[in-house]
Chain A
Amino acid sequence: MRFRTNAKIISIFFVSLTYLTYRTFNAALVDPFFDDFDSPAYFDFQLFPAFRTHGITAVFSIIQNELMISLFQAFIGSLVWIYLWIVINEKLNSKILKILFTISFFILASSSIIVEHDSAMLSESLSISSTILLFATTIKITEASRKIFSRTFYAWAFAFVWFFSTKSSNSILMPLIIIPLIYVFYVKYQFIKKKFIFGIILVLSLFSFLSSFSSDISKTLNTAGTIHNRLWLDDNWRKELLLSGYPKFSHDLWLKHGIRDLGVPPDQAVVNLPEYKKWWEDQGENFLIKFILTNPDYAILGPVALPLLNSDFSFKQTLLSGWSQGTDMTFAESKFRNSILPRTFFWPDEPEKAYLTLSLCFIAIGLSLLVLIKTKSNSFFYSVVLTLLFVLVWSYLNWWFGSKPVDMPRHNLAAAIMFRLLAIFCVFYSIDQFIRQKKSILIR
């Protein structure tokens, strides 16, 4: 028995060390990538109002050194992925499935699309890590059902605060996640200590939520980007936009700045216009919200099926593109030439194959859920469905308020990773449950 436990610990240690070494070694090999337009703001910690979220600006402004930030991101990323692997592995019973799951899991976790962001002075790496930690701790909490260990609870609480503080789009999800939790912690649970900790989470999450609305910089740019990349291309949407007083000539300016480098990016050139500023003060600030509410077809179908509404669009302008293709800094950036990262089969480069992979992920998740219904694994079934729902809502918010085609993969990267993770997790877990049920029937 002791031999078996020791072997298990050694194998966990070996796999973890290999992954940690792989990821930090790559971060050390690659020159850190500094985006002249986006990165500077991440090194400028502002309490309130804040242009960039505190979970990133606090870390970057404390460490300052770009290589050290890369190594820190790689180290944290490794830890959370290893933790998730251990959590999921614990849920599987079959040894063979555990081995197969480990192989699939680390192929995904080693792909360039996930690991390359360690070397970028942007929010993606820590944001993905916070999402993975939140997912792992949520599985732990779900599994615990009635009795939650303190350390699991603290890790979960930390994951929440961290998740909300890494991206504005994460913090906007706060009410959707926190409100059901208030019910759980203040109505169902009696533990004073946990209620107190939860109170702290609530305050910090609320702070992140309010911070994300405290600066108009991203909002004005994202609105201009959404308008000129999307709304302008449909006759009816454009009419609605112009009726709101939007400056018509701004589109020519936007196109001009898109064709040649005139010193200012196209969205910024539009935002700098006095006419745009006036429109923003009159109607612009809430234009996208009003537009979404008055165009339900755009709001519901647009994010995933825009070409069905207007054939001039392609799926490149939808979330499907972001969910399927992933980023590609390893190829595109010269600073990544030393990188040892492969794309792996989870992220085919060609769009047709990338969409195929995404479709297979959804089909696999759906089929696994059918198995879970049959095997009566209710808590797991609802955990998967709720996770899918949150990822969908999160992506929809991204699309409604700012994902341009060029940003689609980066903005929706966490969702793309989650769909693949859920597919792997669901397939192995449902097969494991199925085998377990068959065995118990045979024993009986």
Chain B
Amino acid sequence: MNFRLIGNYLISITIIIFGFFILFYASLPLFPKQVNEIDKQRVIGMRSSSPMEFDNGKEFWWMVREGNTLTFHNSSDEIIVGFLILELASNPCNNDEIIIAKFSDNMNQQRVELRDSAILSIPVEFNGKSEKILNINFENEKKCLLDNGDARDFGAKLVKWSYL
């Protein structure tokens, strides 16, 4: 019996099996869009057209009546499917507001009523290394201006955002 020949065949077959192991365990399970290798909450970032401010150490952004853009960026190379969750609180005048959120590349828009607080949940799909711009606007014409020298017309306070 030629042990060297058998050994050579075994080496070759082991390498092929290893190739199939990668195919079936690492590659194929990732093909469905819903499956991600990375933690999707850690790769989606947000940049707002309004500056970040802090209230008791907690970050927030004022959404103004003139219009706001929130740019969401997927820094990973994977397609990511999920829901964008925006938590909003009322403006300093406590006006009731109707908020309209719409992605710039999509005709569909989300409409939500804001009294004390509101949660917007928007289904969204990101391609790898891409960004999407969300426009936030208000239907209510009633202004919310403060007499402290701040000229902004406040619409709502974005207190938290997440991607699930």
Contacts and interface: CB of A to CB of B under 8 A. Distances in A.
A367 B16 contact: yes
B23 interface: yes
Interface in A329-361: 331, 349-353, 355-356, 358-361
Interface residues of B, number: 29
Contacts of B30: 351-352, 355
Given A316-B38, A359-B26, A385-B11, 14 more contacts: A315-B37, A324-B26, A349-B129, A353-B27, A358-B22, A363-B19, A365-B15, A366-B12, A366-B15, A369-B8, A369-B11, A369-B12, A369-B15, A370-B12
Contacts of A355: 22-23, 26-27, 30
A271 interface: no
B97 interface: no
A295 to B, nearest CB: 21
Interface string A156-185: 000000000000000000000000000000
Contacts of A367: 12, 16
A360 B20 CA distance: 8
Nearest to B13: A366
Contacts of A360: 19
A349 B76 CA distance: 10
A196 interface: no
Given A350-B128, A366-B13, A359 B8 contact: no
A361 B11 contact: no
Given A349-B129, A350-B78, A320 B16 contact: no
Contact of A320 (B20, B26, B78): B26
B27 A352 contact: yes
A231 interface: no
A381 interface: yes
Interface of A: 304-305, 307-308, 314-316, 320-321, 324-325, 328, 331, 349-353, 355-356, 358-367, 369-370, 373, 381, 385, 388
Q: Is the interface of B mostly helix, strand, loop or mixed?
A: helix
A7 B64 CA distance: 71
B128 A349 contact: yes
Nearest to A323: B22
Contact of A359 (B13, B20, B77): B20
B15 A373 contact: no
Interface string B127-152: 01100000000000000000000000
A315 B25 CA distance: 9
B128 A315 contact: no
Q: Closest 5 interchain pairs by CB? A: A362-B19, A366-B16, A355-B27, A366-B15, A352-B30
Given A355-B22, A355-B27, A349 B15 contact: no
Nearest to A348: B77
Contacts of B11: 369, 385
Contacts of B19: 359-366
Contacts, number: 90
B9 A370 contact: yes
A316 to B, nearest CB: 5
B18 interface: yes
Contacts of A320: 22, 26
Given A320-B26, A359-B20, A350 B79 contact: yes
Contacts of A353: 27
A359 B27 contact: yes
Contact of A362 (B8, B9, B16, B37): B16
B3 interface: no
A350 B78 CA distance: 6
Nearest to A308: B25
A356 B23 contact: yes
B37 A316 contact: yes
Contacts of B8: 369, 373, 381
Contacts of B27: 352-353, 355-356, 358-359
A258 to B, nearest CB: 10
B59 to A, nearest CB: 11
Interface string B76-113: 01110000000000000000000000000000000000
